[in-house]
Amino acid sequence: MTTLSDKRPSHGRTDHPATSRAERTDHGPTPRVDVPLLEQVVLGRWADVRREAREFLKDPRMHRIEGLSMAEHRARVLEQVKILATEGDVLRAFPTALGGADDHGGSLARFEEVVTADPSLQIKAGVQWGLFASAILHLGTQEHHERLLPAAMSVDVPGAFAMTETGHGSDVASIGTTATYDAATQEFVIHTPFRAAWKDYLGNAALHGTAAVVFAQLITAGPGEEPVNHGVHAFYVPLRDPATGELLPGVSGEDDGLKGGLNGIDNGRLCFDQVRVPRHDLLNRYGDVAPDGTYTSPITSPGRRFFTMLSTLVQGRVSLDGAAVNTSKLALIIAITYANERRQFSAASETDEVVLLDYAEHQRRLLPRLAQTYAGAFAHERLLEAFVGVFSGADDTDESRQDLETIAAALKPASTWHALDTLQAAREACGGAGFLTENRLVSLRADLDVYATFEGDNTVLMQLVAKRLLADYSKEFKDIDASGVARYVAGRAADAALHRTPLLRVVQTLADGGNRRRSAGQLRETETQRELLTDRVETMVAEVATALRPAMKGSREEAARLFNEHQHALIECARAHADLLQWEAFTAGLEKVGDPGTRRVLTWLRDVFGLSIIERNLAWYLINGRLSAGRARTVTSYIDRLLVRLRPHAQDLVDAFAYGPEHVRAAIATGAERERQDEARAHYRKQRATGEEPRKEKSSVKPAVKAVRQAPSPA
């Protein structure tokens, strides 16, 4: 396929005059990046699927048109979803018997690319196939698949995923909607008991949805028995008359209206007033109700049953992780391409202005974010592998499902926060041009904003990760007696004494001998970075676990107080864990690069990522004695050296993302800025050559000033 590199001159590459001479002097010949090879590595296991999706998404019919009204945007996106249904190969995850391909990994890899066309389209498609239809697939049984899935897959029935409520977002277990079984009629009565229990922010709810998968508290009661709440279950509930579009009796709705972004999606609210659905519309894979009201489940523990049901829907978080990484790629393609062409201010030259990316601060703005985007891409590939292992059945165990849930809960926040940060940095790096809608950065930033809070609020997800880290930590003590725990605590105390006194710092200082090159040599070692990143996670988890240990024997009130007191520390543990996951994935990805030059450049990029994490957390490393002051100072200076080395390769590194101009669609990433700059430089060259250049006022007064200074003193 055609990529940006096919249509772009070789500006910003390894022969860039601002950096290449120094590189050859200090490090021998500058390595070159094999862009096609790196492209293949970055695209990963599902490279062919991604390329096919990108080829399809070149179609202008799928592209967002800026400036549409909300109503026009919604109508366009609905039509695009129908095009996807007929032409877009969007059913790969569904059973072969129903027209799918049982290809869960390929399905998500393809779906994540849709963000390049329009994030509204990606999310509306995600609501239809990734949430509504997938809930039927994963929470229903064969009967539901045969009866309900075909229309959901074809979009004959546009559907909503009615889980979130106005009063409960991430706390799904506490939702207020009820589904009470009526044995006399063998129906469930779906009811919204108060205003905060309205289902809210639902894609397809405002206009287009004719049915929904509704999550509600399942309540049963035998004759003369008190009601029993069996927890949250999913129900298939019709919403509208397909012919008229009118809401059915008992169903009320509101339009969420204009949002900060994603206005191609008709988000809305739903309320149910004693709406009855037949018993067989309970999606009963994990819990069933017999005609007489008897409840049964293959999972006896209510808590485990709840989390098993939710874990089947983890693909939403997985796909958002991938879409966020892809959006960061688009932002960096735009910003780095522009920075390689735009010139501003003269410095060393009397005639030529400086290319933006030659400025050290501009490199600081963009290249560490490029490093983190590569880390996110490699980490997402590993997440997809884990997802496929579970959903294909090849590795579907309780432990592997928990691992998948935890990794997704760590990476989705990391990538979505990073995408928002990268889009903002790219916008600022492009100046006024970045603020123009035609260059997409502001629209993408608005659309991606909500990625940080849907499919799980990022901060809440980080808390989930921290709880898993604590649970794993506690397993270490499961079979250890009191004396063993005491020895461990004493060991931690000795470890703290070693690191928090000058002793270790003195050892580092002596080892480095005050030599910054030697300090940098230590920091660029893979094992040194791994040790520093891993140690931070392990130490933070151990400290929080120790602080929370009294909660195990205290009252519920005391346990809640302790947990709240250490909530920030818990979330910081999870952030550190996500950093380590991405760094390890990046390091593993280096092993897939056979070309020495490409691998060398990518190793520099990995080092920038790892050392940037350490730099952000230097206070922790210094306070906890993990780094000497001298080595801490070296972190920043070595990152700066690495950025100089990477600068000539920046364009190659974004070209390897393999997005064509039809995907990027930003005017400043087309070469137009280079043409403007070349025209301006040619204009001034001609003026100088013909003698038409006006004299500068400053230069024209110099002789007079000099004559005054040399005049003899009146004395």
E strand or H helix at 681, and its extent? helix 672-690
Give the span between the Cα atoms of 404 and 167, in whole angstroms. 28
| Alpha-carbon dihedral 649, 653, 655, 659, rounded to 10 degrees | -160
Confidence of residue 495 (pLDDT cuts 50, 70, 90): low
pLDDT at 297 exceeding the cut of 70: yes
- The per-residue pLDDT for 424 is 98
User: Is residue 452, in this structure, part of any structural domain at all?
Assistant: no
The answer to whether residue 472 is domain-embedded is no
CATH number of the domain enclosing 209? 2.40.110.10
Average pLDDT, the chain: 88
Please give the pLDDT value at position 700.
54
Between the two ends of the chain, the Cα-to-Cα distance in Å is 82
At 695 the pLDDT is 84
* Residue carrying the six token digits 């005609």: 291
The whole-model pTM stands at 0.89
How much is the pLDDT for 113? 97
In-domain check, residue 638: no
Q: Residue 697: helix, strand or coil by DSSP?
A: helix
Q: Is the pLDDT of residue 248 over 80?
A: yes
DSSP 3-state assignment of 532?
Answer: helix
Please tell me the distance from the alpha carbon of residue 326 to that of residue 44, in angstroms, as a whole number.
Answer: 13
DSSP letter assigned to residue 549:
G
Sorting pLDDT into bands at 50, 70 and 90, what band is 18?
very low
Q: Which residue has the higher pLDDT, 684 or 55?
A: 55
Q: How many domains does the chain have?
A: 1
Whether 17 has a pLDDT exceeding 60, the answer reads no
Q: Express as a percent the part of the chain with pLDDT over 90.
A: 73
Residue 523 lies in a domain: no
Cβ pair 634, 70 in contact under 8 A? no
Mean pLDDT within 18-39: 68
**Whole-number pLDDT of residue 697:** 84
**pLDDT digits over 624-656, tens only?**
999 988 888 899 999 999 999 999 999 999 999
> Would you place residue 489 in the very low, low, confident or very high pLDDT band (cuts 50, 70, 90)?
very low
CA distance 309 to 298: 12
- Name the residue type at position 85: A
pLDDT in tens, 600-620: 999 999 999 999 999 999 999
Is residue 172 one of the residues assigned to a domain?
Answer: yes
Q: Which helix (H) or strand (E) holds 539?
A: helix 526-548
Q: Name the residue among 598, 599, 568, 586 with its Cα closest to residue 530.
A: 586
- Write out pLDDT tens, residues 130-177: 999 999 999 999 999 999 999 999 999 999 999 999 999 888 999 999
Separation between Cα atoms, residue 175 and residue 529, nearest integer Å: 44
| Residue 547 C-alpha from the chain's centroid | 31
Q: Quick check: is 623 in a domain? A: no
Residue 3 lies in a domain: no
Look at residues 168, 176, 68 and name the one whose alpha carbon lies nearest to residue 121: 68
Helix/strand number for the chain, H first, E second: 28, 13
Phi-psi region of 38 (alpha: psi -120 to 50; beta: other; left: phi over 0): alpha
What residue numbers bound the domain in which 165 lies?
Answer: 161-305
Kindly report which listed range (118-132, 251-265, 593-607, 682-696) carries the lowest average pLDDT score.
Answer: 682-696
Candidates 232, 254, 377, 217; CA nearest to 303 is: 232
- The b-or-e profile of 4-38 (16+ CB within 10 A means b, else e) is bbeebeebbbbebebbbeebeeeeeebbbbbbebb
What is the pLDDT confidence band of residue 497, given thresholds at 50, 70 and 90? very low
Pairing state of beta strands 211-220 and 159-162?
Answer: parallel
Task: Return the structure tokens found at 449.
Answer: 């904003």
* pLDDT given at position 20: 36
**Choice among 27-31, 107-111, 374-378 with the minimum mean pLDDT:** 27-31
Task: Determine the pLDDT at residue 473.
Answer: 86
Q: What's residue 511's pLDDT?
A: 42
Q: Summarize pLDDT for 548-580 with one digit per residue, the tens.
A: 888 878 888 888 888 899 999 999 999 999 999
**How far apart are alpha carbons 73 and 418 in whole angstroms?**
27
Please report whether residue 465 resides in a domain.
no
